[in-house]
Amino acid sequence: MLPAALELGVTIEARRGDTIRLTSRERPGDVNVAADGSPVGAAPSGWGRYVAAVAVELDALGRPPVGLDGEVSSTLPIGTGLSSSAALEVAVAVALAAVSEWEVQPLELAQAAQRAELRAVGVPCGIMDQAASLLGRAGHLLLLDTRLLEYEHVPFPERLALVIVDSAVSRRLEHSAYGERRAELETALTALDGRPLDDADPDALALDPVQARRLRHVVTDHARVRETVALLRDPTDASLARLGDVFRAGQQSLRDDLDVTVPEMDLLVDLAYEHGALAARMTGGGFGGSIVALAAADEAQRVAAATRAAYEERTGRRAASVVSRPAAGAGEVP
C-alpha cells in the first residue's frame, strides 16, 4: 500500500483532566467518558464512540488512567474517503498518550486505533489509514506492508502535487458493503496458503468467480504499487506518463474485480484525466468519497477547478477539492 498523510487533519487542544471531556467545532454533541473509556452516564454516541473506543484500547495496553479536557477541530471533511475517522482516532490516541506521559511505539498505537474502529462502529478496517496518519513524513509517501507491518518512506517528486476531488457521494463504511468485501478478500487470501502475492495466480486456484476477482485485485494492485514506487523514484517524463496507465488499471480493477466504485467516481476519474491529471483513481474504502490524482504542481489548482466544474455540469453535484503535498503524520505540538 502507498498512502500519504495530507496537509489536512484533526487537532485536539487539551489539558489533563479527571475524565475525557471533549467538544468539537465541526461535530455535534460533547463527549464525556472515564479515563479508561467506560461511560460516564449515558453511553457515548456519534463521534464519541471513537473517543471511548480508543481510550478502552489504550487502557488495555497499560496507559495510566489520566483524562483530558479540550476541544477538537478539523480541516478534514467527513465521509469523503479521506480517513476522517482514522484521523480522529489517531489524534485522540496521541493526545491521551501525551497527557499521561505514556510512551508507545507508533505502529502499536496505529493497531490500537485500528481495533478502536471495529469496537466503535463494527468496521473491520485495515491498518493503512491509521499507519499513514502516524507515520507520514513530509514530502514522502508511505510504502506499507500490512501483513508484515514493515514500511519505508518513498520520496514524492517536487514537480508533482496531490489533487483530491470529492464526488459528493457521501458514504459511511459501516452502512456499505465494505465489511462484505473485506470478508471476501480474507477468504480468497486463504487460498494462497501463506505464499507471497508475487507468486499468486488467481486463475490457477480453486476459487469461485467472485473470490477469484477479489484476489485478482489484491495481486494486481500489489504489482501496481511496486511499479508506482519504481516510477516515482525515477520521475522522468516517460515514468510520469506511465503512471497514468498504472492508475487507470487500478481504477478498472477497483470497479470490475473489487466492485467498490460507483458511477460518479468512475466519471470523476475520467474527467480528471480529460482536464490534465497525469494519473487518477479512487481513494478510500469505496462506495462514494473521493478520487486522488497526480498533477504537475504548477497545474494542480487548474486541474482541480476544471475537473470540479465538468463534474458539476455532468451530474449536478457540487464537488470539493484539495491540493496538497504529502505531510508529516500526527504528533504533539509544543
What is the grid cell recorded at 158? Answer: 517536487
DSSP string, 273-321: HHTT-SEEEE-SSSSSSEEEEEEETTTHHHHHHHHHHHHHHHHS----E
Tell me the C-alpha distance between 231 and 246, whole Å: 10
Tell me the C-alpha distance between 318 and 322, whole Å: 14
| 144 bridge partner residues | 151
Catalytic residue among 30, 59, 129, 245: 129
What is the 3-state secondary structure of 128-183? Answer: HHHHHHHHCCCCEEEEEECCCCEEEEEECCCCEEEEEEECCCCCCHHHCCHHHHHH
Closest C-alpha to 105, from 151, 71, 155, 143? 151
DSSP string, 228-244: HHHHHHS--HHHHHHHH
Residue 129 among the catalytic residues: yes
Spatial strand order in the sheet of 10-17: 10-17, 67-74, 20-24, 31-33
Catalytic residues: 129
